[in-house]
Structure 1
Amino acid sequence: MDSTTGTRHTPWLSDTEDRVWRSFLTLSRSMERAVDRQLQRDSKLSGSEYEVLVPLSESDSGELPSRDLLRELGWERSRLSHMLSRMERRDMICRSPSPTDARGLVVGITEHGREVIARAAPAHLEMVRAAFMDRLSEEEQTALVSIADKVLPRLRSMDLA
């Protein structure tokens, strides 16, 4: 079968497009693995735990409705629920009923969670800078933001993000 879907023809990627796509995937996956390894090594946190702690620690109140956290992270509900249970057992977050949504929860960062992210952030940012940011020119950084600003809304409109 060729590259058709039903009666619609889907063109293969050109050699250049294929190289761009595969390079992007390799970079994305490699950075994610590097972040996970660095966080685990230096602070005994998973990348996912860090990802949850960041928006909570940046929130003025230290709390977010679980639906807002879910939207910010772009995760499936079951993944967030599992992660929050694990983090709650480790006393990094707490959950309480939402005062405005009878079915919702509010997720808050605990004092221990604040200490954990405060210890983890410097080494994490040092790795991000050394492995990624310091390797890109200002023009490349601007181009990367521009690419994300074009692709992410399209993924959302396709209900894929």
Structure 2
Amino acid sequence: MTLRPLREGDLDRVMELEAELFGRGAWSREVYLGELALAGRYYVAAEEDGVLVGYAGIALAEDSEVMTVGVAPASRGRGVGAALLADLLERARAARARHVFLEVRAGNDAAQRLYRRAGFEEIGTRPRYYGDEDAVVMRLRLRGGLGDLTAG
């Protein structure tokens, strides 16, 4: 698997995966074009044998936010999501973020396990955030927290 920056030329494949993974909640091509153009945004693609099998993005700030993580169903369970998330978190650390936040579907146990393994903790819920389902709000403290030896 290879990680590289997500490009506009990847959007046909991203749109296929968005529809499959997120249904009515899928982002449009226009949303992605806007995101790719914004300063402070970072999007990464995962490729296997030249095929895009996953993508992820983060809004970088003192309190950064994971915008999306998507992995093709056939590529799940092989570390693609973990690699994408690790890359986002590396970017957040390089940007000197204090925290990283995200929302995840309450029923998406696999994603919640991935985030917990990366050190995220549940801090709340957003009722009906996805229309038909609640969101679990999660936070990762990167620096500045009590007992955090990287504070400074």
- Fold match (TM-score > 0.5): no
The normalised TM-score by structure 1 is 0.26
Higher strand proportion, which one? 2
The structure carrying a bigger helix percent of its residues is 1
Q: Which has the larger radius of gyration?
A: 1
